[in-house]
Amino acid sequence: MNENDIQSTLHWESSTLQVMERPTHGRPAVIGCKNAPGARLIIEKESDYLAILPLVQQKNIKHSGVIHSWRRVWLLVLATILLLTGLLWGIPLAAPIIAKIIPHSWDNALGQYVIGEMVPDAEECVYPAGQKALEIMISKLSKNTPIENNVDVKVIQSGEKDINAFAVPGNYIVILSGLLSYADNPDEVAGVLAHEMGHVIKHHPSEGILRKMGIHLILTGAFGSSADYASELIHLKYTRENEQQADDMAVSLLKQAKVNVKHFERFFEKIASEGNIVEDNIEIFQYFSDHPGLLERIQHIQKNATLMKTEPILTHQQWQDLKNICKKKVPIEFKNQKEIQ
């Protein structure tokens, strides 16, 4: 470059110099001027930068917008931690609200998926007389509730030791036939069914899945976890508050159906009293392993079980028919239920 190529010469007072960027990782240094916003001097050689650096006032280096690479890393780490913490706390808090507003078509599809994962290749028990007895029980318990004529209860063939029942999104409830074999009378089954109805009415299945899967998705996105989503659904657990709400709802539904709540209580007591059974029979606790605080719940039910005139929810013959509902089995079919308000 000669003098003819130079159109103008800029003079920057040393007091106005600013270090905008230091030379790092092969990148050049950048010098700016307070009196010339936007103007930049790019210095490729570190030796030239070191020659200019003593001319720059310390305050203009300190407040020049320099961000060391390690500071960037720590700021990103801190921001990520704060974001994850907010989401991990926020999703459980927001789950009850979101569960009530998600499209019901999503609920139906998710519920059908969960049932398929939890009881793959299972058959639904539909012996006509048993089905009629089940419908009588459902009708009495759900009368004047948001799920009246709007809940799909399925009995699935299982082993005698599979004492389980569960509610899933979409107003679906599954009862494993082992529960019918284990119960001493239809009122005990009604208590368990009323409890699961309580979960459905309170939107607990959707809430629980939102809570579990939301956290799972966050952790997967952040850390690349390869854990199976289906396993999260299968091992879904309700909160203690959810369980108490479902128990309260069960007591209310049993009372309205004029069913003796004591049978619901005794069913829990029977489970608790068999806590010392041999290990090869431990499967009977499968249902209650996801329902914490068994003795506490018995006491809670006792407190809310007021004396009143009651009658069995089913006749003796209807109870026998229900226990024999698996005399006929078909592949599972789903009826899409309406949205619960």
What percent of the chain is modeled with pLDDT above 70?
Answer: 70
**Residue 13, pLDDT above cutoff 60:** yes
* 69 domain residue, yes or no: no
How many independent structural domains does the chain possess? 2
Could you give the 3-state DSSP secondary structure of residue 117? helix
Residues 55 and 104 in one domain: no
Say whether both 215 and 289 belong to one domain: yes
Residues 233 and 303 in one domain: yes
What percentage of the chain reaches a pLDDT higher than 90?
Answer: 28
Same domain membership, residue 231 and residue 102: yes
Do both 170 and 268 map to the same domain?
yes
Whether 338 is in a domain gets the answer: no
Residues 148, 51 share a domain:
no
Residues 26 and 118 in one domain: no
Same domain, 311 and 177: yes
* Same domain, yes or no: 17 and 149: no
Same domain, 195 and 262: yes
14 located within any domain: yes
* pLDDT grade for 155, boundaries at 50, 70 and 90: very high
Are residues 252 and 145 part of one domain?
yes
Residue 75 lies in a domain: no
Residues with Cβ within 8 Å of 264's Cβ and at least 6 positions away in sequence, in order, are 187, 188, 190, 191, 192, 194, 195, 250, 251, 254, 301, 305
Residues 49-85 pLDDT 10s: 888 888 888 877 754 444 455 666 777 778 777 766 6
Measured between its terminal Cα atoms, the distance across the chain in Å is: 80
Does any domain span residue 127? yes
CA–CA dist 22, 123 (Å, integer) = 70
Q: Is the pTM of this model over 0.85?
A: no
Question: DSSP string of 46-79?
Answer: HHHHHHHGGGS-HHHHHTS----HHHHHHHHHHH
Tell me, what DSSP letter sits at residue 327?
A: G
Tokens of 182: 């284990």
Domain assignment present for residue 298? The answer is yes
Residue-level pLDDT at 322: 98
One domain, residues 327 and 196? yes
Residue 115 included in any domain: yes
Does residue 72 fall inside a structural domain? no
Predicted confidence (pLDDT) per residue in 193-242, tens digit: 999 999 999 989 888 877 776 655 555 554 454 445 544 544 456 677 88
Instruction: Please give the residue range of the domain that contains residue 222.
Output: 84-331
